[in-house]
Amino acid sequence: MSAKHQLLNQFDLHTLLFNNVLADISEAESNIRLVPSINNIKWLAGHLVWGQGGLAKMANVPMEIVWIDHYNTQIQHPPGPEIPTPSLEEIKAAWNDISPKIRAGLEMVPEEALNSPIEFPLPAFRTSEGLWSFINHHQAYTIGQIGILRRALDKEAMKYF
């Protein structure tokens, strides 16, 4: 199995798990911060959409989401008045709209292009394939954080199917 095929399989899994980990989470629950030093579910979901941006660039897919810059740091910051924070439903809709387009674009990336060198601060990820691997890891890590928060809200564990 090629590296590209494995990376696409992970992408598909994240698409499924994004929706599963947010199942039955209300808008009010998505805004709860259990302690001030950790993000809430809504922020993490928005950050996952933001994380798709790296793959969108790799796939040559435009990603025009007006609120996306709310989610490009590690700890949430209050949004400015000019761009309101989206609802959890808007975040889910953005994910479900952009993900199939990104996947189609990633399928078109030639296998040999994955070996092309890139500038990235982590030495292990200095190729396009390495960057894609890192983004996949980031997405899995963030989905896991939401999974822990959903259990803290006394929800069922995330389903893998």
Q: Does domain 3-152 have CATH number 3.40.630.30?
A: no
Helices (H) and strands (E) in the chain, counts: 5, 0
- The one-digit pLDDT tens for each residue of the chain (161 residues) are 788 999 999 999 999 999 999 999 999 999 999 888 888 999 999 999 999 998 999 999 999 888 888 787 755 555 555 567 899 999 999 999 999 999 999 999 998 888 888 777 767 778 889 899 999 999 999 999 999 999 999 999 999 98
Instruction: Indicate the pTM of the whole model.
Output: 0.90
Distance CA 128, CA 154 (A): 39
Query: Both tokens of residue 39?
Result: 């993000």
Q: Give me the pLDDT at residue 104, please.
A: 98
Q: Is 24 left (phi over 0), alpha (psi -120 to 50) or beta?
A: left
∠ CA 5-121-100 to the nearest 5 degrees?
35
**What residues does each domain of the chain span?**
3-152
Calpha distance 86→29 (Å, rounded): 14
pLDDT value at position 38?
87
Token pair for 126: 């200095």
